[in-house]
Structure 1
Amino acid sequence: MSEPLSLAGRAVHELLDRNAVRLARELVRGFVADIPFYRQLPDEEITGDIVRITEINLRLVARLFRERRLPTTTELAPLRASAARRAQEGVPLEAVLAAYHNGAARIWDHVLDGCGPGELDDAIGAGRLMLGYIGVVTGAVCAAYQAERESMVSQEQHARHAAITALLSGEPHATAGIRLAARYLVLSVTLGPHADERSAAVAGRRKLHRIRDAVQGFSAEPVLSLLESGGGLVLVPDLDWCEAAELVAAMGKAARVEVRAAGEVAAPEGVANAARLTQEVLDVVHLFRHPPGLYRLADVLLEYQLTRPSEAVAGLATLLDPLTDNPDLLQTLTVYLETGLDRRRTAELLHVHPNTVDYRLRRAASLTGLDPVDPAQLQSIGAALAARRVTNRPGRPPRPAS
């Protein structure tokens, strides 16, 4: 067994053991003076648990100098338990580590006090022991702190998942561990693929992480979500509709992808119905190829109604059947309506002369009896085109390249 380390004519371990209680209080006063977060801790914790674990550290350092060996896993157990408690209390890890380094520096000054030039070798040996001690201790502390934080996050995620499951089941009273908001912005969303997702799976996870961060920035309370790479459901506590469009834009900007969302504001007992409705609205948005952005039922009333089972939908779809064998006429009619009756823009998109557009529109009118130049008949033509898309009628034209 190695001889105990001595400096300035005294056994270092005896110096630390004999003064451990006083030194622990001294070190803790130093933590409070030098580390801002420690000044926020309750006096009871500072004078109790913090002083106690500091004294345990001092006695471990004394053993280090007495036996010239690093502490064992068993001996580090109190330090790991203390780190876990700091994690539970929300003390930042950097503050915990700062206390260990601050304490080590003060112990080192105490140990070297009175050391002479002839004791350089012993001082170097003591320094190596202290560096080894700090390495082992901070490694154990970090591992214990991180493990506790991960456990807490896992429990929080489980509670959030249970809460959103209860809300979607129409049983908000069954939530536990999550305080429900008075109302939620219910968003059904689809997320476009990021360019990097084609070559790296991690890009999809990074996209979701950015999306969640962007959404959480709009609420002081935990956001509930069921999101995958392609989209899902988001419940944002206490967010007004006037801020919803800004939130959707922020999601797209953060992840650099196209975002389509359908939303409604609902109380907890109405979340289940709102989630069903917003998904139906989002389906309509995609079916009718609306651009990225935020939608609610009022924005797609006609299209939504046309997607509901009805004899009228089938009847509307047949109004343009005479154009089935004339895809150019059907495509021209479609683009003409989509461009807001702009014949020049229609011609540009179809790569034809405006006179050709005029001819095709007249031909379509002669075949169907519905004249797109007549304002009274435009509504029927628009409804008929929408009905064909809903019923997947043959001859549905492709969208032209812009």
Structure 2
Amino acid sequence: MVRGTSRRQDATASQAWLAEVGEAASRDAGGVPVALLGNYLPLLADAAVTGRRPKRTELDAVGQLGRQAAEQGISAGRVVQLYLSAARRLWQDLPTVVRARDQEAVRAATAAVLQVIDDAVATLAEGYALARRDLVRREEAMRRELVDDLLRGDSDLGTLVERAEPFGLDLARVHQVALAAPDRRLPDTGTAINALESVIFDRLGDRDVLVATKEGLLVVLAPAESAAAGRTTPAAPEADLGQLMHRELRRLRHGNPWRVAVGRAHPGLYGIARSYEEAREALSLATRLSVDNPVVNAHDLLVYRMLLRDQPAIADLVAAALGPLTPTRGGAQPLLDTLDAYFRTGAVATKTAHLLHVSVRTVTYRLERIKTLTGYDPTDPEHRFTLQAAVLGAKALNWPTDPLPATG
């Protein structure tokens, strides 16, 4: 009876001692919960006294604790510090009976304890890493779904506000959407997203910014100044989201060429969807118009959007004003290019010649030929507006490469 009581007292004292070691280790690690040690301290003590190595099930339990730490948002460094500090304190405070053994016994106890530390910390880190990967995948999926719903613009506002909150998005603010398209299949998505997040967070702060992928494009949702909502003039280059994105993407391996399109800034939830549609349309138009600039802004292409809204009317204008150029030798394209350059240089023949790499005489001949064929004189201000609108429409419709859509 006395022996049983003594054993219970020893067990109680041992538990109290291990609890003290755990509390001290928790303080060393900055307050990491003692519960994350699980049965680690008894495993260490058992190894020191008996040399027993932990079972697979016991190590699996340590791996689960690593997963819990990751899910609780505790850094891997602090969790490992908890385990190493606990081992150090336990070894320092081991009962006299262990420390009083002969040298060989102490060496064996040390080796057993170190083996438990090695196995436990490795399993802890593995569990932590697996949980972090799961969390990242889950967050990526949630972010992708949120981006899809935001850009669609027809989801329930209350639900979206709740889902956007963990990402730091205030849907009442003014936002703009930018899209980045690679020339080939999207490269390493994770690297591109991390690069963009890093530079954009540094410039704009880590809230109200969302970077994701959609339909093979990189999507950036970023805040804009309230005064920028509906702006039709370009922003300063150093503050332009598109330029910022393009500079960073060019630094990536295989980073060229990228094309970035930026929608205008609009307020509220539906403004996000509107900005996205503008960016997507700008990306499509820039490709169709063979725009040289790798960064295009929706406000720069507003005239094309206006023209394409009434496609039958603009197709009719192109056919009527420029259709007569088709039967000429070489087709309509050289004369169309001449008109485009002429209007872009402010109707100056010498600048047009320089831009087209032809003689001034060639330019004046072509302009006269256009006048004869169409009845519109490019040098006449009254005719110039009709011809310029027709040229813009032809570019938007990719004519004469593509046939004009039916107008009937």
Shorter-chain TM-score above 0.5? yes
Q: CA distance change for structure 1 residues 127 and 255 in 2, over 3 Å: closer, same or farther?
A: farther
Provide, for residues 71-105 of structure 1, a one-character-per-residue CA deviation record: whole Å limited to 9, x for no partner: 12322355334333322332111111122223323
Task: Assess, with a 3 A threshold, how the Cα gap between structure 1 residues 102 and 369 changes in structure 2: closer, same or farther.
Answer: same
1:210 paired with 2:205, answer no
Q: What pairs up with 1:1-400 in 2 under 5 angstroms?
A: 19-26=14-21, 28-29=23-24, 31-33=26-28, 35=29, 38=30, 41=31, 49-50=33-34, 52-54=35-37, 56-111=39-94, 119-167=102-150, 168=152, 169-175=154-160, 176-179=162-165, 181=170, 182-193=172-183, 203=188, 205-217=190-202, 218-221=204-207, 223-224=209-210, 226-228=212-214, 230-231=216-217, 233-236=219-222, 240=226, 241=228, 246-256=240-250, 257-290=258-291, 291-296=293-298, 298-318=299-319, 319-324=321-326, 325=328, 326=331, 327-341=333-347, 343-394=349-400
Distance 1:23 1:305, change over 3 A: same
Q: Which residue of 2 aligns with 1:5?
A: none
Q: State the distance in 2 between where 1:125 and 1:349 align.
A: 85
The alpha carbon displacement at 1:62 in A equals 1.6
Shift in CA distance, 355/202, structure 1 to aligned 2, threshold 3 Å: closer
Measured against aligned partners, the alpha-carbon deviations of 1:120-153 in whole angstroms (never above 9, x if no partner) come to 4444433332332222111221122223333333
Please give the alpha-carbon distance, in whole angstroms, between the structure 1 residues aligned to 2:104 and 2:135. Answer: 47
Normalised to the residue count of structure 2, the TM-score between the two structures is: 0.74
Mapped to 2, the partners of 1:345 and 1:119 lie a distance apart of 98
Q: Cα offset for 1:30?
A: 5.1
Distance 1:150 1:329 in 2: 59
| Closer/same/farther in 2, CA of residues 365 and 279 from structure 1, 3 Å limit | same
Aligned-partner residue type, residue 338 of structure 2: T
Is the alpha carbon distance of 1:63 and 1:386 closer, same or farther for their aligned partners in structure 2, counting shifts above 3 Å? same
Distance 2:121 2:273 in 1: 48
1:254, 1:377 → 2: CA distance? 45
Taking the aligned partners of 1:174 and 1:116, their CA distance within structure 2 comes to 62
Encode CA deviations 1:5-61: one digit per residue, 9 max, x unaligned.
xxxxxxxxxx9995453354345435534x4xx1xx4xxxx6xx41x5547322111
CA contact (8 A) 1:219 1:239 kept: no
Alignment partners' CA distance in 2, 1:161 and 1:247: 21
Give the letter for the 1:320 counterpart: L
Aligned residues of 1:248 and 1:293 also touching (Cα < 8 A): yes
Q: 1:157 to 1:203 in 2, by over 3 A?
A: closer
Alpha-carbon distance in 1 for matches of 2:187, 2:108: 46
- Residue 191 of structure 1 aligns with an amino acid whose one-letter code is A
SS of equivalent residue, structure 1 residue 258 = strand
Q: Match for residue 10 of structure 1?
A: none
SS of residue matched to 2:39: helix
The answer to whether the Cα contact below 8 Å between 2:201 and 2:209 also exists between their aligned partners in 1 is yes
Aligned-partner Cα distance in 1 for 2:350–2:112: 83
1:259–1:292 CA contact under 8 A, matched in 2: yes
Q: In structure 2, do the counterparts of structure 1 residues 294 and 98 end up closer, same or farther at CA, with 3 Å as the change threshold?
A: farther
Rounded to whole Å, the distance in 1 between the matches of 2:193 and 2:350 is: 42
Which stretch shows the higher mean deviation, 63-72 or 76-85? 76-85
The 1:59–1:321 alpha-carbon spacing in structure 2 relative to 1, beyond 3 Å, is same
- Residues 186-233 of structure 1: CA distance to partner in whole angstroms, max 9, x if unpaired? 41524233xxx68xx754553344234444553433644552484254
Change (3 A) 1:233 1:258: closer
Give 1:164 deviation, angstroms. Answer: 3.6
| Cα shift readout 1:351-380 (whole Å, capped 9, x = no counterpart) | 323332233233323333333334443332
Partner deviation per Cα, 1:297-353 (whole Å, 9 max, x = no partner):
x43232111112344312320212232224433322223334454544543443323
Secondary structure of 1:75's aligned partner: helix
More displaced 10-residue stretch of structure 1: 385-394 or 203-212: 203-212
